[in-house]
């Protein structure tokens, strides 16, 4: 009920059509990685997936935003099936900040991550943090799908209170893979370019 | 006539019955054509035609509801039309994140305000709220962010969007508040919408059948001299034939219909140029076969304010 309302409201305001350019929806285990420019990104990308994939796809959300307050926490955990991670105090968590993400992937389920780690002002994504590399290295079976979220930085930019109605799209690109022995920095640059190429 | 406690004017029932009859005929023609036409190009045209007819059924159903339930529902309906058209316009017009506040004000303040002013029948304010107050306020909201790059362009885009999709379109339901003695204004709205939309359809049909000479090949390749004259005259004749639902004489009704046809044609032409300058062919994908909502409303944006002021000038007390 709340889920339908949330998706309905998102559709009404910002549309959020999924456009599959280089890949097709599939039940295979995946890590979707996207540019990050607004708090709506998580909901929009998740809602752009076909309903049967949403059940096993978990957005990764920052605990310092989505874990705050009962309502946000409820939306993140109960409705979006999100996994919360600690952006700052990660070292205190047993197994490092990525431990909850590894758990999800070990269960064979999929993730949505925003490797910039924070919302950007610019159209093209900023440099990627190494989390994506570590996940790709540890879970070679998971398909890496780049996603570009268009227009959200206009619809709900950093620092604004309300989203405005501007049609947004989620463009899904062709999967990339970590090459054997590929250098971390080189891989992260390539992953970032795969997202930027969809802009 | 009363259906489920709802009283319906028999004249309105007859009019919508007529519209439904035309649509049934059109659907039948579309069905027969889809069986007969074999060439690939012809198939594409027929598919487009059938998609248009299907979308028309939906629009007519929504309009019938609005007319049956009165002013409030009509205003809410047109408010949503403005909302979707403005969303399409702003989505295509490259504004920047720093315009966020101005865009928020356009959507969340000026759409409700404009339609509330119509509900309140505050004629003076509804004709100046957007051209004067929004015009002055929106750039103030943007300038506070301190980004000067393309400032005039960005401001102009938001103001144009608001003028076309909210101010201009709202003049159609604003017909309901004009003070015309012994007359039910809802028929004026029916007259406007029918003439505008039939003019669009008939120009399309005449253009497909007889079109040879393009009027503005670079702006709108589908508009032809033959289509405009044939479709325009046919729509004017139908408008004249509807004089009995208006406060006009048959000749006045023809004049009004002609004004609506010409304004609608020019609106379509101008919005087509705006759309192309933004690098798009259709405004959106909301109504199947119609491009976006603004593709159906482009002629209304120009025709509604002109018709509103013509009626207000000559026929109100």
Q: pLDDT of B44-79, one tens digit each? A: 788 877 877 887 887 788 778 877 888 999 999 999
Same domain, B158 and B250: no
Would you state the torsion angle of the CA atoms of residues B205, B209, B215, B221, taken in this order, to the nearest 10 degrees? Answer: 80
Domain end call among B44, B69, B94? B69
Model confidence over A37-51: pLDDT tens digits?
A: 888 888 899 888 988
Q: Which two tokens stand for residue A171?
A: 């463009």
The minimal CB distance from A167 to the residues B91, B101, B103 is found for: B91
Domains of chain A: 2-196 (3.40.1130.10)
Residue A19: strand, helix, or coil:
strand
Claim to verify: residue B221 and residue B246 sit in the same structural domain: yes
For B186-211, write each residue's pLDDT tens digit: 899 999 999 998 999 899 889 988 88
Same domain assignment for residues B85 and B63: no
In chain B, residues with a C-beta closer than 8 Å to the C-beta of A164 are 90, 100, 103-104, 107-108
Structure tokens at B291: 């491009």
Query: How far apart are alpha carbons B262 and B235 in whole angstroms?
Result: 11
B235 and B314 share one domain: yes
CA distance B224 to B71: 38
Domain containing B14 equals 1-69
User: Do B101 and B40 share a domain, yes or no?
Assistant: no
How many structural domains comprise chain B? 3
Tell me: do B126 and B106 sit in the same domain: yes
Greatest CA separation for chain B: 62
CA A17-B296-A153 angle, to 5 degrees, is 35
Domain assignment present for residue B266? The answer is yes
User: Is there a single domain that holds both residue B112 and residue B157?
Assistant: yes
More confident site: A58 or B65: A58
Q: Is A121 on the interface with B (CB under 8 A)?
A: yes
Q: What is the pTM of this model?
A: 0.86
Question: pLDDT digit string (tens) for A169-191?
Answer: 899 999 999 988 889 999 999 99
> Do B272 and B314 belong together in one domain?
yes
Same domain, B274 and B187: yes
Tokens of B296: 């159906």
Nearest one of B241, B245, B262 to B310, comparing CA atoms: B262
In a domain, B176, yes or no: no
Does B185 lie in the same domain as B98? Answer: no
Instruction: Kindly determine whether residue B100 and residue A154, on different chains, have CB atoms separated by under 8 Å.
Output: yes
Q: Hey, are the CB atoms on A121 and B97 less than 8 Å from each other?
A: yes
- Residue B257 and residue B250: Cα distance in Å, rounded? 10
Q: B91 CA to chain A: closest CA distance, Å?
A: 5
Q: What is the ipTM of this complex?
A: 0.81
* Look-up of token digits 């007969």: B36
Strand partners, A62: A85
User: Do both B79 and B151 map to the same domain?
Assistant: yes
Q: Residues 6 or more apart from A65 whose CB is under 8 A from it?
A: A39, A72
DSSP A120-159: -SSSS--PPPTHHHHHHHH-TTSEEEEEEEESHHHHS-TT
B77 in a domain, yes or no? yes
- Which of B69, B98, B129 delimits the end of a domain? B69
| Residue B175 belongs to a domain | no
Asked if residue B289 has pLDDT above 70, the reply is no
């Amino acid at each position: 009920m709340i889920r339908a309302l949330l998706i309905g409201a998102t559709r009404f305001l910002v549309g959020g059509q999924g456009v599959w350019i280089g890949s097709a929806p599939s039940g295979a285990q995946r890590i979707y990685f996207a540019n990050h420019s607004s708090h709506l990104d998580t909901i929009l990308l998740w809602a752009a997936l076909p309903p049967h994939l949403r059940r096993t796809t978990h957005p990764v959300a920052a605990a310092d935003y989505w874990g705050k307050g009962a309502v946000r926490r409820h939306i993140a955990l109960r409705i979006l099936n999100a996994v919360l991670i600690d952006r700052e105090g990660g070292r205190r968590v047993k197994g490092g900040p990525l431990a909850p993400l590894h758990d999800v992937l070990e269960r064979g389920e999929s993730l949505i991550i925003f490797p910039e780690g924070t919302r950007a002002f610019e159209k093209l994504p900023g440099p990627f943090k190494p989390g994506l590399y570590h996940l790709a290295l540890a879970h070679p079976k998971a398909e890496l799908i780049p996603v570009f979220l268009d227009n959200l930085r206009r619809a709900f930019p950093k620092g604004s209170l309300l989203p405005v109605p501007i049609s947004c799209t989620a463009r899904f690109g062709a999967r990339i893979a970590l090459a054997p022995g590929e250098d971390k920095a080189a891989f992260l640059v390539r992953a970032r370019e795969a997202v930027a190429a969809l802009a | 006539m009363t259906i489920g406690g709802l009283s319906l004017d028999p004249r309105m029932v007859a009019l919508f019955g007529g519209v439904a009859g035309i649509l049934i005929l059109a659907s039948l023609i579309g069905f027969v054509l889809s069986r007969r036409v074999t060439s690939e190009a012809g198939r594409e045209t027929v598919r487009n035609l059938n998609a248009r007819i299907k979308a028309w059924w939906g629009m007519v159903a929504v309009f019938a509801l609005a007319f049956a339930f009165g002013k409030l529902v009509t205003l809410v309906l047109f408010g949503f039309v403005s909302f979707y058209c403005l969303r399409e316009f702003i989505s295509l017009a490259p504004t920047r994140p720093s315009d966020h506040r101005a865009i928020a004000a356009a959507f969340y303040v000026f759409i409700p305000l404009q339609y509330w002013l119509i509900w309140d029948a505050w004629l003076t304010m509804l004709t100046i709220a957007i051209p004067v107050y929004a015009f002055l306020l929106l750039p103030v909201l943007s300038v506070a962010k301190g980004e000067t790059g393309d400032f005039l362009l960005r401001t102009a885009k938001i103001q144009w969007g608001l003028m076309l999709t909210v101010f201009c379109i709202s003049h159609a339901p604003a017909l309901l508040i004009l003070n015309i003695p012994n007359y039910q204004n809802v028929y004026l709205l029916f007259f406007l919408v029918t003439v505008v939309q039939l003019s669009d359809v008939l120009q399309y049909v005449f253009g497909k059948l007889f079109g040879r000479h393009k009027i503005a090949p670079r702006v709108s390749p589908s508009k032809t001299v033959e289509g405009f004259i044939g479709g325009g005259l046919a729509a004017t004749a139908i408008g004249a034939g509807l004089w009995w639902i208006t406060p006009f004489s048959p000749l006045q009704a023809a004049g009004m219909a002609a004004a609506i046809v010409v304004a609608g044609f020019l609106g379509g032409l101008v919005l087509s140029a705006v759309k192309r300058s933004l690098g798009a062919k259709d405004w959106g994908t909301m109504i199947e076969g119609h491009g976006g909502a603004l593709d159906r409303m482009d002629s209304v944006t120009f025709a509604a304010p002109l018709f509103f002021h013509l009626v207000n000038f000559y026929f109100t007390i």
